[in-house]
Amino acid sequence: MSNQAHGVTEQLAAARKETERACDLLLAPSPEALDRCASLLQAAVAQVTASKAALASPAQREPGATAEGRRLQAAVRRARRLLEAAAEYHQNWARRIGTMSAGYDGRGEPAAVERGRRLIIRG
């Protein structure tokens, strides 16, 4: 087993762990947890990106990398489902707030709620 192949398996494992931590945060989301979740998922993407070249070459890939890749895929699917559920939850609340505060529009749909603008700058 080459050092590079071992590195790929480790990178995929690190990406999986970051993704699993993000999933844990999504089970009880708060603004702080969602910010942390975004950071974890960005770190996971960086790990996968770093291992991409070695994964493209079957000669450099070790059997453990394939298995770890499958575990990472499962974690990513779970994160996607949790993120979709969170988005749906917030969309439903936005519709309810629109209905309660602004009524309905001419088509019978809940009126859009004017949201305050937000600017986030990180340096």
Q: Name the H helices within 27-118.
A: 31-56, 63-102
Q: Is-contact 48 73, C-beta < 8 A?
A: no
Q: What is the predicted pLDDT for the residue at 104?
A: 74
Where do the domains of the chain lie? 3-79
| pLDDT score of 13 more than 90 | yes
The DSSP output letter for 14 is H
pTM of the model: 0.71
**Which tops the pLDDT comparison, 117 or 75?**
75
